[in-house]
Amino acid sequence: MKAVVAFVIALGIGIGYCATTASAVLYRTYAFGGAKQKPLAIFNPFRDRSPEAAADAFLRRLHSARPAEVLGEVIADPERLEVVITREAEHPIESWTLGDRSQCGHHSVFLHYWPTRRHLPKEDCLPVTVVMRKFKESWKVEEFIAAY
């Protein structure tokens, strides 16, 4: 019985910590095996997911629309835009999983995704980062960074 009470107390403390901590990531390991090595991140289940929802909407548009239209909204440099459009046309993103998240202040969030891409084995797919910025009360994609 004491073990059950101790477990319930520990569980309550854990949930309270998660609910009150400002961090969206409770624990992360860093990958030292190169770009293809995936880090492990344990996300706070009580985090604000609105930047993730906006990034997911962007990635869905990128997946279903023409890359030039979607990427033209977030990449200002014409040379870089052309390279990214070409690469996305060659190996379009088919699915993605949030792998890590880092916050810079209250208005910028870096979301790191592990994609799968058409015509590439899963182990050859490198991460993409969607940089989100909060404007007034909504999150907007500020940058799309992909490694090919």
pLDDT at 41: 85
pLDDT at 80: 94
Q: Count the residues in the chain.
A: 148
Any idea where the domains of the chain sit in the sequence? 23-146
Per-residue pLDDT of the chain (148 residues; tens, 9 = 90+): 766 555 556 555 555 554 455 688 787 777 655 556 677 788 899 999 999 999 999 999 999 878 889 999 999 999 999 999 999 999 999 999 999 999 888 899 999 999 999 988 888 888 999 999 999 889 999 999 998 8
Give me the CATH code for the 23-146 domain, please: 3.10.450
Structure tokens at 127: 């991460």
Rounded Cα–Cα distance for residues 50 and 103 (Å):
13
**Would the pTM count as exceeding 0.85?**
no
Rounded Cα–Cα distance for residues 64 and 92 (Å):
10
